Amino acid sequence: MDADRRGPVLPRHRGPLSHALIGCLVGQCPLPDPAAVQETDPYGDDLQLALYICYELHYQGFARVDPAWEWNPSLLAVRAALEDRFLTALRRDASARRSLDDILAELLVEPLDGGGVSQFLRERGTLRHVREYAAQRSLYHLKEADPHAWMLPRLRGRAKAGMAAVEYDEFGGGRADRVHARLFADLMSDLGLETAYGHYLDDGCAEMLALVNGMSLFGLHRRLRGALVGHFAAVEITSSPASRRLALAMKRTGAGPAAEFFYTEHVEADAVHEQVVRRDVIRGLLDDEPELETDIAFGVTATSHLENRLADRLLTGWGA
């Protein structure tokens, strides 16, 4: 196998699964036994890092890892076991128990308790908190919109057109300097953070890895296309108000103009995207495939579940 010299470096392992997987990718040991996955915490560091590594082979890959590993049958068997363990936990903990309309309506309601990461950063966050938050979210935002692009060939008509319109904005409307992943890198530069793709993988907590893995899981499986639409809806519907708070946090902490601009850009853009997603993507998909309503609802609730777990992790740490 010819190693690829580009891409981020492989991370440090966090347990036996990720240790064996990383060792295999550099030719030092065999792949982990798929059966061993069933004994591993589905939300834990070891499983989530191993799954993230498997998925990253479909994005930018890793330096000195042969690109042929992306479709290696034995590795795909391990990935399937990791996915099954993770998806089973998500269906157990985050299955929708209300109608899709009720779930979407709830996303529009601001929390009465004033909780949440964006509230904390706006009201009490320091530059240290903002930098830590940006480093964690870089695992998501530096590949922002990439997993959603896998949805386009799986949609038709109105849903496809609506999805393409939103993705066009996410990828900068044809301008490289306005690609949202580029704008987030500019934010990181303002904060004095390293902007290289995947640089903060070793710092990413299990909850952050799970959030990114969730969208990759939904994106890579056609059978989960409804869940990916639900994930996309959850992101776009909640983004505008949260971005408004985060823009104020960036301004208050003196994070810098690019840091503030990233979120002010999302306040307006995502308010428009929300309407397109609700009116064209969701309604268009349901017109074509009404049986996917339960999957769309699951995508919303699973995303909220993973976001809440990440918020709890960050707020607990900051509170301590």
* 245-296 pLDDT tens trace: 999 999 999 999 999 999 998 887 777 888 899 999 999 999 999 999 999 9
pLDDT level of residue 114 (50, 70, 90 thresholds): low
Pick from 212, 225, 34, 191: nearest CA to 121: 191
Residue 267 and residue 167 in one domain: yes
Q: CA 310, CA 132: separation in Å to the nearest integer? A: 13
> Is residue 3 assigned to a domain?
no
Residue 21 and residue 133 in one domain: no
Strand partners, 4: 65
> Is residue 57 assigned to a domain?
yes
Number of domains in the chain: 2
Residue 65 and residue 36 in one domain: yes
129-168: pLDDT as tens digits? 999 999 999 999 999 889 999 999 999 999 999 999 999 9
Domain boundary residue among 92, 112, 136?
A: 92
Residue 84 and residue 225 in one domain: no
Whether the predicted pLDDT of 232 surpasses 60: yes
> Is residue 8 assigned to a domain?
no
Strand partners, 65: 4
> Is residue 26 assigned to a domain?
yes
Domain range enclosing 84: 16-92
Mean pLDDT (the chain) is 94
Residue 73 and residue 124 in one domain: no
> Is residue 11 assigned to a domain?
no
Residue 44 and residue 162 in one domain: no
pLDDT, residue 4, reads 62
Residue 183 and residue 310 in one domain: yes
